[in-house]
Amino acid sequence: MDNTMGVFLILLWITNMVQPNIFQAEGVKVFPPVNFTLTVSALAEVFLHWKPNSNQEQKNYTIRYDVEIITPVSEGYDTKKTHSFRTAVLHNGFSARIRTLLLFDDLQMKSDWVMGELKPPPGAAETSVTNLSCVTYITIYSTVSLHCAWFPGKGAPEDTEYFLFYRYKTYTEECQDYLKDKWNRNIECRFSRTHIDPEEVDDLIVIHINGSSKYAAIKPFQQLFDQNAIEKVNVPRNVTVFLEQNYLLAKWEKPISSFPKECFEYEFYLCNLKSGNKQILKISSNDFGLRIDVTCRYSIQIRANHYICCKRGFWSDWSEILYVGENKQENSIAWILALLCVSSCSIALLLAVICKINHVWSKLLPPIPTPRNKFKDPFPNDYERARTCTSETETELGSFAEDFYSSALEDVF
């Protein structure tokens, strides 16, 4: 029984293997497409077109076409149509090939390949722009602005003029607002308003820059940008922070955008101004709470970026700095001023005590002596009252008499 089943399986396998050969033996041939052409239909867009081979038999077959893009980026796909549009940079040329696929039940037969090619546009080497970068912004009016910058090619003459175009879907526009370098060459372009749809996700923006010069043919340059990947996200709005006991609580609104709040993530920057410790926390909601040291003062900033709904763009700028907690910086200044005042008073008091102990004030500021009277006392009745003075006064009067006698002798001689 087992041997019979094994023989049956072998015969079934042989039948399946031989079936394609039987099909081919019937004289069916697969012919490649004809009149395969490549045409530039828009900036960085190629129209591929071909026709079925008239020699191809039209029976119960399914005919498809296998398309393979060779340059600038390898890509393969199949289609039932006899034409196809492809977006690709074309400054280095474009090449592709195509063949017929004939499907019958589980059998697939293929024709030979047919090649097509677009030559690179003319231009001298190293004259095209380099380091092209672009950024989009969603304005408060829900429109999209575009800003691009680049470096002139190393081989570009000083008189080179560059001109930028952008294409979004079927719309193409040339830049009218340029910034120039010191040789008066265009190196930046600004569109304050574009036809880019802020609600679309991951659409391509085509940038094309060509140029002209009296001394050389300027080679054009193209680059494709993902719409959301080059968006500079707006700053979170209405940020508020406050303390509730020993908790720091913060709330804010999503940036200006057509995407819902669930599409954004945030970075929360917290700096302890007392210790100097800094930390950045990632948050996916519009509020945040954290236990902190309430005796310290903190600075807070928040920024936003795309999260789930589309490709990540450029982080927004940081929000304005907000502060919570005690103003240690102001308290420190007050403490320093108070300390200086107390120190100055203490030093002054100490100096006064030292001077008092050492009779410095009497030496620096001696008492003004009483004027001596050189004439006889006209009031003898007061003699008895004068006799009651202290011995110190008597000494002073004796000294006065001696001075008066000396002065009289000097007058005589």
- List, for residues 126-148, the tens digit of each pLDDT value: 999 999 999 999 988 889 999 99
Span of 117-126, 249-258, 382-391 with lowest mean pLDDT: 382-391
Answer whether residue 244 shows pLDDT above 50: yes
More confident: 381 or 336: 336
Note the pLDDT of residue 366: 60
Note the pLDDT of residue 412: 37
Report the mean per-residue pLDDT for the chain.
81
Smallest CA-to-CA distance from 128 within 91, 176, 172 is with: 91
For residues 132 and 147, give the distance between their C-alpha atoms in angstroms, rounded to a whole number.
Answer: 11
How far does the chain reach from its first CA to its final CA, in angstroms?
176
Pairing of strands 144-151, 45-51: unpaired
- List, for residues 325-380, the tens digit of each pLDDT value: 875 444 556 567 777 777 777 787 777 667 666 665 455 556 656 555 544 555 45
Q: What share of the chain is helix, strand, coil (3-state, %, to 5)?
A: 20, 40, 40
Residue range 145-157: mean pLDDT, rounded: 95
Note the pLDDT of residue 386: 41
Note the pLDDT of residue 406: 45
Tokens found for residue 113? 């390949």
- List, for residues 9-46, the tens digit of each pLDDT value: 343 333 333 333 333 435 678 999 999 999 999 999 99
Residue range 37-66: mean pLDDT, rounded: 91
Neighbouring-strand partners of residue 301: 269
Note the pLDDT of residue 29: 85
Within 13 Å and on the Cβ side, how many CA atoms surround 95? 8
- List, for residues 260-317, the tens digit of each pLDDT value: 999 999 999 999 998 889 999 999 999 989 988 888 999 999 999 998 888 889 999 9
Query: What angle (nearest 5°) sits at the alpha carbon of residue 178, between those of residues 176 and 181?
Result: 160
| Max Cα distance, the chain (Å) | 177
| 279 dihedral zone (left: phi>0; alpha: psi -120 to 50; beta) | beta
Q: Which residue has the tokens 């043919």?
A: 217
Q: How confident is the model at residue 97 (pLDDT cuts 50, 70, 90)?
A: very high
> What burial class does residue 95 get, using C-beta atoms within 10 Å of its C-beta: 0-12 exposed, 13-18 middle, 19+ buried?
middle
Tokens found for residue 210? 């060509």
Note the pLDDT of residue 25: 32
Note the pLDDT of residue 153: 94
pTM confidence score: 0.69
More confident: 5 or 94: 94
- List, for residues 196-210, the tens digit of each pLDDT value: 999 888 899 999 999
Note the pLDDT of residue 183: 86
Note the pLDDT of residue 391: 46
- List, for residues 187-239, the tens digit of each pLDDT value: 999 999 999 999 888 899 999 999 999 999 999 999 999 999 999 999 999 99
